[in-house]
Amino acid sequence: MKRGMAVRGAMLWMSAVGLMGACGGQPEQTPAPEAGDTVTTATQSLVPAPPTPFDSYLYIAGNLSVGSAVTGNTGTSANYEGYTLTVAAHTQVALEVTHLGTGMGVDTGLYVYGPKTQYGYGFMPRYGDDDSGYGELSKLPLATFNQAGEYLVVVGWSNGLAKNYRLQASCVGGACVQNPAPAPAGAQVTVAQFPLEGNLRALLNTGNAYREDMYSFLDRYDFAWPYSTPASLDAAAAAVLARSEYRGYRNDPTPDTYTYAAFQARMYGQFQPLHQAILDTYGEDGANAQVKSYFREFSTGPNGDNWRTLNVILLPASRHVLVYEQTAHEI
């Protein structure tokens, strides 16, 4: 039976847990609460993305640089402020409204837009978070910027307490690392899931509408990588198979490995437009990309044979792992 969701487990806002900074120092450690320093987590309302078109009213408070922090003030009413962030292609940063330097009781939201074009920053946030930081503060442990350019980081707050907030941008991998060292032997890949881009989702949906007995899924994962040498395909595949939703492929004793060019012929014809679109979306050179494929076959009864292939696509320069699962069944 055809499964109705084209993107499995995609969440609008994702936080990558446990990623460490690679330049500008380690990401700030949350200090232990002091006596009388209580953390409220249920008294404030959520801080949504700013209403659009926000470019007509949003105050641009200044520039934010990777490896630095800025300080603002909430004023006396709920509001938003923006900061421009200019990065090179494939830069990876952690963004956080920090406990240190932010007044007690402040409740924030954090959103990223861009890159800037002649039409502005766009109105759909690329990343966003409400309460993943300390208390009701916001934190994005991993934001990957595929394109070079100017982005807009927006801080919002639900309560005007006339208190300061502190916004920090730390390098966690990619183009912002100064003089990166080679990856140590056996360096592991830690992946975090993010929503699939709309153009890729549209191509996937078109392919899935082609015929009932062939269906595919495409999921996007990012990994922080501060090294000069690329992550290995085996490490990326191990990180994917460690996830419970892919455990059915762990018993394949002889997975296949392909160059990205050779992988196109392994895709069902109706999904092959995804092949070039993936490279274009993430700014990756196809010569760098690699694919590892796992196969499983099972039966659900008479005329119920299923064939499934899990393809782990490593994009080493742009720090993405795409998981393309291709399924077919008897009808």
Q: What is the pLDDT of residues 270-310, one digit of tens each?
A: 999 999 999 999 999 999 999 999 999 988 767 678 899 99
Give 172's pLDDT tier (boundaries 50, 70, 90). Answer: very high
Domain boundary among 174, 200, 228: 174
**Torsion angle in degrees (nearest 10) through CA of 112, 93, 21, 169:** -60
Average pLDDT value for the chain = 88
Same structural domain for residues 169 and 197?
Answer: no
Among residues 5, 31, 27, 9, the alpha carbon closest in space to that of 18 is found at: 27
The residues that bridge with 294 in the sheet, in sequence order, are: 310
- Residue 2 within any structural domain of the chain: no
- Residue 18 within any structural domain of the chain: no
- Residue 316 within any structural domain of the chain: yes
pLDDT at 56: 85
Do the bridges between strand 256-259 and strand 290-299 make them parallel or antiparallel, or are there none, so unpaired?
antiparallel
Instruction: Give the mean model confidence (pLDDT) for residues 203-217.
Output: 96
Same structural domain for residues 231 and 153?
Answer: no
Tokens of 309: 């292939």
Q: Which of 26-30, 194-198, 240-244 is predicted with the least confidence, judged by mean pLDDT? A: 26-30
Same structural domain for residues 162 and 237?
Answer: no
Same structural domain for residues 208 and 303?
Answer: yes
pLDDT at 238 over 80: yes
pLDDT at 8: 36
Same structural domain for residues 224 and 316?
Answer: yes
Percent of the chain with pLDDT over 90: 79
pLDDT at 299: 84
The residues that bridge with 208 in the sheet, in sequence order, are: none
Which helix (H) or strand (E) segment is 259 a member of?
A: strand 256-259
Same structural domain for residues 214 and 323?
Answer: yes
Give the range of the structural domain holding residue 220, as residue numbers without chain letter. 192-329
Give 43's pLDDT tier (boundaries 50, 70, 90). Answer: low
Which single residue is written with the structure tokens 């992550």?
231
pLDDT at 304: 76
Contacts of 34 (CB under 8 A, 6+ apart): none
Q: Which residue has the higher pLDDT, 38 or 134?
A: 134
Same structural domain for residues 214 and 264?
Answer: yes
CA angle 304, 305, 309 (to 5 degrees): 135
pLDDT at 7 over 70: no
Same structural domain for residues 225 and 302?
Answer: yes
Which single residue is written with the structure tokens 């009864």?
301
Summarised one tens digit per residue, pLDDT across range 239-273 is: 999 999 999 999 999 999 999 999 999 999 999 99
pLDDT at 12: 34
Instruction: Give the mean model confidence (pLDDT) for residues 184-197.
Output: 96
What interhelical angle do 273-282 and 198-208 show, nearest 10? Answer: 170
- Residue 183 within any structural domain of the chain: no
Contacts of 61 (CB under 8 A, 6+ apart): 70, 72, 81, 82, 83
Q: Which of 5-9, 63-67, 120-124, 176-180 is predicted with the least confidence, judged by mean pLDDT? A: 5-9
Instruction: Give the mean model confidence (pLDDT) for residues 120-140.
Output: 95
DSSP string across 13-68? S---TTPPP-BSSSPPPPPPPPTT----SSSSPP-PPPPSSGGGT-EEEEE--TTE
pLDDT at 25: 37
Number of domains in the chain: 2
Same structural domain for residues 161 and 202?
Answer: no
- Residue 6 within any structural domain of the chain: no
Same structural domain for residues 165 and 203?
Answer: no
Dihedral angle sign, alpha carbons of residues 121, 125, 127, 130: positive
Instruction: Give the mean model confidence (pLDDT) for residues 309-318.
Output: 97
Instruction: Give the mean model confidence (pLDDT) for residues 220-242.
Output: 98
Q: Where residue 210 sits, what CATH number does that domain have?
A: 3.40.1000
Backbone angles phi, psi at 151, to 5 degrees: -115, 165
The residues that bridge with 37 in the sheet, in sequence order, are: none
- Residue 276 within any structural domain of the chain: yes
191 touches 223 (CB < 8 A):
yes
pLDDT at 303: 65
Give 22's pLDDT tier (boundaries 50, 70, 90). Answer: very low
- Residue 117 within any structural domain of the chain: yes
- Residue 258 within any structural domain of the chain: yes
